[in-house]
């Protein structure tokens, strides 16, 4: 091995011939490992979604077809798809309306008992959702919200709010106060300053945060299963039901449909992803 330094020059091998082969081998092993580990399970879903007949021990499906994909557009699955997207859209809009002013206040103003307010929005991230949601379910029984769209939307909203407040606070904190002060000094009212100076700068961040909220609601399972049943079936719950009934193809088609928005989002905002935005995604 040579002592060549190539920390920031990934494609400039400076070692001898043996070193090059060694490095290439390491890279190839890592590629093979990554592709197998990440794409292996996912490709199983793709195979199953096109399999009309697949019996063990055939390596590949005996009959291929689009039969299960065509069911997306009809019946129960279409219903689950509509419900899921509808709720996700509603949750996203509610989050924007409620969180933009709140996050702006947290980022800019002195609020009495601010640490308490911050903890209210941070602690839900620390604890498991299931035991809390089972108790929320009892409350919702009292208000007749179990099995209703309102109930499911509310339970999604809790997690979504916690997540979106934090991302939006960091969006507003990244905008320089001096811009706002300049506008105020020139005689603009605070409200006008917010709408003509701050908000336009914050829009990309707000959009990024909203897309993640949309995805959170689309993927939410625990709350939907508890609060939605038996009348409201979202996509993840539909997928759970079909997998439990060993309908492998239906479950795989649903799973792939659930993945598509996330993959699109990943391609779109790869470069803008910050780890603090993502912390709330490690939950389920």
Partner 1 sequence: MPNLNTAATAKGASSSVIRFLAGVLMIAPATLVVIGLFLYPFAGSLIGSFRTEAGKWTFTNYAYVIETYYMDLLFTIFICLISLVLVLALASLLAGWLRLKADPFVEFLFKIPLFVPFVVVGHAMRVFLAPHGTLNSLLAATGLFNPDSLPGVAFSTLGLIAALVWKNIGLTLLLVMGAFRGINSSYLEAARNSGAGGFRLIKDMMIPMSWGTISVAGILTFTSMIGNFSIPAMLGDAGGSQMLMIDLYYELIYRQDTGAANALGVISYLASLGAAIYYVKKVAKS
| Residue in 77, 136, 171, 202 binding partner 1, rule: CB under 8 A | 136
Closest distance to partner 1 from the beta carbon of 70 (Å): 21
- What separation, in Å, do the N-terminal and C-terminal C-alpha atoms of the chain show? 46
Closest distance to partner 1 from the beta carbon of 166 (Å): 10
- How far apart CA 127 and CA 123 sit, in angstroms, is 7
Residue number with CB closer to partner 1 (70 or 173): 173
Residues 89-108 within binding reach of partner 1 (CB under 8 A) = 98-99, 101-102, 105, 108
Distances (CA, A) of 223 to 94, 134, 209, 261: 18, 8, 21, 20
Contact 2, 15 (CB under 8 A): yes
268 sits near partner 1 (criterion: CB under 8 A): no
Residues 159-198 within binding reach of partner 1 (CB under 8 A) = 161-162, 165, 177, 180-181, 184, 190
- Nearest Cα to Cα of residue 78 among 221, 253, 207, 241: 253
118 sits near partner 1 (criterion: CB under 8 A): yes
Closest distance to partner 1 from the beta carbon of 121 (Å): 6
Residues 227-246 within binding reach of partner 1 (CB under 8 A) = 236, 239-240, 243-244
Q: 140: how many CB neighbours lie within 10 A of its CB? A: 21
- Nearest Cα to Cα of residue 88 among 166, 145, 164, 169: 164
Residue number with CB closer to partner 1 (155 or 205): 155
CA angle centred on 155, ends 153 and 161, rounded to 5°: 90
Residue number with CB closer to partner 1 (71 or 108): 108
- Choose one: 67-75, 85-93, 122-130, 202-210; the region binding partner 1 (CB under 8 A): 122-130
| Residue in 154, 202, 213, 232 binding partner 1, rule: CB under 8 A | 154
35 sits near partner 1 (criterion: CB under 8 A): yes
Closest distance to partner 1 from the beta carbon of 141 (Å): 12
- How far apart CA 241 and CA 237 sit, in angstroms, is 6
Distances (CA, A) of 141 to 15, 70, 131, 169, 226: 69, 37, 16, 34, 11
Distances (CA, A) of 250 to 33, 56, 67, 200: 29, 18, 10, 43
| Residue in 24, 28, 39, 66 binding partner 1, rule: CB under 8 A | 39
21 sits near partner 1 (criterion: CB under 8 A): no
């Amino acid at each position: 091995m040579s002592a060549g330094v190539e920390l920031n020059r990934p494609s400039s091998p400076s070692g001898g011939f043996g070193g090059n082969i060694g490095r290439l081998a390491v890279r190839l092993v890592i590629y093979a490992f990554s592709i197998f580990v990440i794409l292996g399970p996912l490709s199983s879903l793709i195979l199953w979604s096109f399999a009309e007949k697949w019996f063990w021990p055939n390596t590949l499906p005996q009959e291929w077809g689009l039969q299960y994909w065509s069911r997306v557009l009809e019946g129960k699955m279409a219903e689950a798809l509509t419900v899921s997207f509808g709720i996700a859209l509603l949750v996203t809009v509610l989050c924007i309306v409620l969180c933009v002013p709140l996050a702006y206040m947290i980022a800019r103003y002195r609020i009495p008992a601010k640490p308490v307010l911050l903890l209210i929005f941070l602690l839900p991230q620390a604890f498991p959702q299931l035991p809390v949601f089972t108790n929320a379910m009892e409350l919702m029984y009292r208000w007749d919200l179990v099995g209703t769209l309102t109930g499911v939307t509310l339970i999604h909203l809790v997690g979504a709010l916690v997540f979106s407040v934090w991302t939006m606070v960091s969006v507003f904190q990244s905008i320089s106060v001096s811009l706002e002060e300049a506008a105020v000094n020139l005689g603009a009212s605070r409200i006008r300053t917010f709408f003509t100076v701050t908000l336009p700068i914050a829009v990309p961040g707000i959009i990024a945060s909203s897309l993640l909220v949309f995805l959170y609601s689309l993927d939410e399972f625990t709350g939907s299963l508890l609060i939605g049943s038996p009348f409201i079936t979202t996509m993840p719950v539909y997928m759970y039901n079909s997998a439990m009934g060993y309908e492998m193809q239906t479950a795989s088609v649903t799973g792939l449909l659930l993945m598509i928005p996330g993959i699109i989002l990943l391609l779109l905002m790869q470069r803008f992803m910050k780890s603090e935005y993502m912390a709330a995604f490690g939950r389920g």
